[in-house]
């Protein structure tokens, strides 16, 4: 006895529908979406990092004056906005600093004819911190 293809097609379709109705998959579906631990309004960025890209001794104009210096610190990653602080670690005194969105400039005084060192610390809006240090030689300019 020869069975016509039109008889088998409804049986195949019925078996596929029954499989789907019982929890089987007719074809592979998309992967489930993973939940993240980021609160609404926050950004997922790289880890917070700080660096001191430049420290420039300005020298002193007389042998009795303290030499001055300027440094530039940069922030990246983390969750902006950032806050900044500068610390004179050895042979340096921070006198002022200015900031903008991703960087901060510092000015200060240093002991003459020695290597001075400063530290730059960045804190992001979630409280993460990152610090960098930089050493530079302070000198007196002879007029």
pLDDT digits (tens, 9 = 90+) for 79-88: 999 999 999 9
In terms of pTM, does the model score above 0.85?
A: no
Parallel, antiparallel or unpaired: strands 83-90 and 92-99: unpaired
CA distances for 66 relative to 69, 98, 140, 142, angstroms: 10, 21, 8, 13
Q: Which domains does the chain have, with CATH numbers?
A: 49-137 (2.60.40)
- Position 43 scores a pLDDT of 57
109-140: per-residue pLDDT in tens?
A: 999 889 999 999 999 999 999 999 999 999 88
pLDDT of the residue at 20: 40
Q: Which residue has the higher pLDDT, 133 or 38?
A: 133
Collapse the DSSP code of 43 into the 3-class scheme (helix H, G, I; strand E, B; otherwise coil) and give the result. Answer: coil
What is the C-alpha separation between 84 and 87, in angstroms, rounded? 10
């Amino acid at each position: 006895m020869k069975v016509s293809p039109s008889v088998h097609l409804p049986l195949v379709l019925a078996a596929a529908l029954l499989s789907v109705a019982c929890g089987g998959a007719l074809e592979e579906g998309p992967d489930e979406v993973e939940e993240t631990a980021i609160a609404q309004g926050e950004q997922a960025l790289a880890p917070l990092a700080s660096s001191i890209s430049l420290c420039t001794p300005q020298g002193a104009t007389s042998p009795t004056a303290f030499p001055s210096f300027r440094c530039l610190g940069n922030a990246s990653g983390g969750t902006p906005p950032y806050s900044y602080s500068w610390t004179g670690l050895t042979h340096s005194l921070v006198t002022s600093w200015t900031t903008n969105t991703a960087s901060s400039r510092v000015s200060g005084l240093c002991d003459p004819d020695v290597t001075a060192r400063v530290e730059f610390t960045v804190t992001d809006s979630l409280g993460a911190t990152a610090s960098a240090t930089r050493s530079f030689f302070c000198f007196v300019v002879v007029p």
